[in-house]
Amino acid sequence: MEMADPAPAPSNGVAECLRVSGLSKAFPGVRALRDVDLTVARGEIHALAGGNGSGKSTLIKIVAGVEHGDAGTIRYPSSAEVDASGSTPEVARGGGVYVVHQDLGLFPDLTVAENFALGFGFPQGRSGRVRWKALRRRAAALIERFEIPTTPDTVLRDTSRAVQAQIAIARALQVEDEGGAQGLLVLDEPTAALPAHEVALLFASLRRYVAHGRAALFVSHRLDEVLDLADRVTVFRDGQGIGTYSTSSLTEAQLAELIAGRPISRLSSRSGQRAPGETLLELTEVQADPLDGINLTVRSGEVVGVAGLLGSGRTELLRCIYGDLPIQSGTVRMKDKVVHFTHPRDAIKAGIGLVPESRSESVFYDLAVYVNLAICKLSEYSTRRWLSDRLMRAGARERIATFGVRAASESVVANVLSGGNQQKVVLGRWLSQSPTVLLLDEPTHGVDVGARQEIYQLVRQATDAGMGVLLVASDFEEIALNCDRAIVLSGGRVVAEVGADELTAHALIEAAYTGTKRQRAG
């Protein structure tokens, strides 16, 4: 394939917003960044793309001042050049950098209005008391401007991940709006949990934002989104910047090849003609807030997709099967036996596994990678009454190789792995346990384009060996490519069942958006 030429750095009249020069950073056993240069121009949206562990988040953390570089310099939008080893969050903020990290940095027990205020300051009366009415009014105005489906008094933990992402972004942008036309908004995978129409809203607000000479820098694994939204993209491979490209000169396939260092095509992992085996899981008229009369079967050897828009009940469906959401009525059967799980522990014992949407619910950040990989089935590593460290490590080394986890060793704590590599650890934990039914909620969230396909191949190997999989993904294409059939949810109801012959992204999108009840071959 003919590759695009790198785009020239902005010069002759195009003002720079951010310049990073010669940036290097090593962690014990890992060279995260090697002599990286990056220039972001005013008025542009600039993307960072690269494989898992290629150094994108490390660069962002150093620019934000929360991590120090070993060598290199940074020139911020509104300050003189600083040494990358000496940057702090205050220096970055003073220099006009506003960051929305992957973990969003919000406070779940505070209200939406209070979360906004923590980025902005609480309005106070003369006596120093907080002016709560003014605070709510300001929050309401922001909510309206950014079209966020929430209210100022809603407690954050009662909102969805998508709403939380919008709140974090609005919080960063509100500050900048008051701060003049200097700044750089930095976003680490901002759209990971957003449905298409909310991504469009976010894109529109970023466009407005940079129109006045500011700039935005964002990390994304969604290549269509990088090409749609960004003006230029800098690609990282193994800690090195391998080039900056104008997105207008790149195709998705070219960008995927630049990232992976080899051609990548989105191939199907469907099983083809193989007939599915016995029914492993069956839901009959299941009612569980917000699910309304769900009928569903998962058979041995098949991957069943669950498509739907955010709020359609996708995640809740997996949680009620997993014993994590009470079922009000209806029946769940596993291999013809009626089961009633009131706790995930019971579901795990019966052979159900869940890879949840949010990594914070599945990764034990302070534990070593090898413990994270072993934790679901510690009995496998017991010799007499003792847990064998040696066996756990040996098992982990094997899985690290199988799943392509990029880690200095099996002993490092999960916290130091890049986001995508943490996701591979969670998947590796479950896939190697061979549960009867595996529930996957956005399993490739944060996983790079090269590894995504490998993950689905591993899922397919597991179903070929007899497992049944229920897969939730907001990427309709991902469902169409990797599932044998799919159901579409809308408002907690199954509005369509799409059989193998009709399984295309287009059919799923149509059913999810129209939400009409159509029954097709199961």
Ligand X SMILES: Nc1ncnc2c1ncn2[C@@H]1O[C@H](COP(=O)(O)OP(=O)(O)OP(=O)(O)O)[C@@H](O)[C@H]1O
Binding site for ligand X (CB under 6 A): 27, 30, 32, 50, 52-58, 406, 416-421, 446, 448
Rounded to an integer, what distance in angstroms lies between the CA atom of residue 413 and that of residue 368?
Answer: 4
Q: Which is nearer to ligand X, 158 or 361 (CB)?
A: 361
Residue 439 CB, nearest approach to ligand X (Å): 23
Q: Is the backbone of residue 380 left (phi > 0), alpha (psi -120 to 50) or beta?
A: alpha
Residue 185 CB, nearest approach to ligand X (Å): 18
Residues 6+ apart with CB under 8 A from 131: 122, 123, 124, 125
Q: Which is nearer to ligand X, 269 or 421 (CB)?
A: 421
CB atoms < 10 A from the CB of 301, how many?
A: 22
Residue 450 CB, nearest approach to ligand X (Å): 11
Residue 508 CB, nearest approach to ligand X (Å): 26
Q: Which is nearer to ligand X, 97 or 117 (CB)?
A: 97
Q: Which is nearer to ligand X, 154 or 418 (CB)?
A: 418
- Beta strand spans in 309-344 (E): 329-334, 337-339
- Strands ordered across the beta sheet of 30-41: 30-41, 16-27, 71-75, 81-83
Q: Which is nearer to ligand X, 219 or 431 (CB)?
A: 219
| Local structure of 218: helix, strand or coil | strand
- Beta strand spans in 300-358 (E): 303-308, 329-334, 337-339, 352-355
**For residues 115-145, b (16+ Cβ closer than 10 Å) or e, as one string?**
bbbebbeeeeeeeeeeeeeebbebbeebbee
Q: Which is nearer to ligand X, 67 or 484 (CB)?
A: 67
Q: Which is nearer to ligand X, 116 or 403 (CB)?
A: 403
Residue 457 CB, nearest approach to ligand X (Å): 19
Residue 285 CB, nearest approach to ligand X (Å): 41
Rounded to an integer, what distance in angstroms lies between the CA atom of residue 214 and that of residue 195?
Answer: 26
Residue 155 CB, nearest approach to ligand X (Å): 29
Beta strand 215-219 with 184-188 is: parallel
Residue 415: closest CA among 150, 102, 186, 165: 102
Residue 417 CB, nearest approach to ligand X (Å): 5
Residue 357 CB, nearest approach to ligand X (Å): 16
Only one residue has tokens 């620019």, namely 63
Q: Which is nearer to ligand X, 441 or 448 (CB)?
A: 448
Whether 310 and 327 have beta carbons less than 8 Å apart is answered as no
Residue 32 CB, nearest approach to ligand X (Å): 4
Query: What's the one-letter identity of residue 207?
Result: R
Residue 373 CB, nearest approach to ligand X (Å): 15
Q: What does residue 301 show for φ and ψ, rounded to 5 degrees?
A: 90, 0
Residue 234 CB, nearest approach to ligand X (Å): 12
Query: How far, CA to CA in Å, does 234 sit from each of 5, 11, 26, 309?
Result: 12, 17, 20, 31
Beta strand 240-246 with 232-237 is: antiparallel
Residue 45 CB, nearest approach to ligand X (Å): 18
Q: For every residue of 430-493, which 3-state class applies, written as one string?
A: HHCCCCCEEEEECCCCCCCHHHHHHHHHHHHHHHHCCCEEEEECCCHHHHHHHCCEEEEEECCE
Helix, strand, coil abundance in the chain, percent, nearest 5:
35, 25, 40
Q: Which is nearer to ligand X, 152 or 420 (CB)?
A: 420
Whether 183 and 214 have beta carbons less than 8 Å apart is answered as yes
Q: Which is nearer to ligand X, 333 or 406 (CB)?
A: 406
Whether 33 and 58 have beta carbons less than 8 Å apart is answered as yes
Whether 435 and 451 have beta carbons less than 8 Å apart is answered as no
Q: Which is nearer to ligand X, 25 or 138 (CB)?
A: 25
Q: Which is nearer to ligand X, 54 or 150 (CB)?
A: 54
Q: Which is nearer to ligand X, 222 or 377 (CB)?
A: 222
Residues 6+ apart with CB under 8 A from 251: 227
Q: Read off the tokens for 470.
A: 């229920």
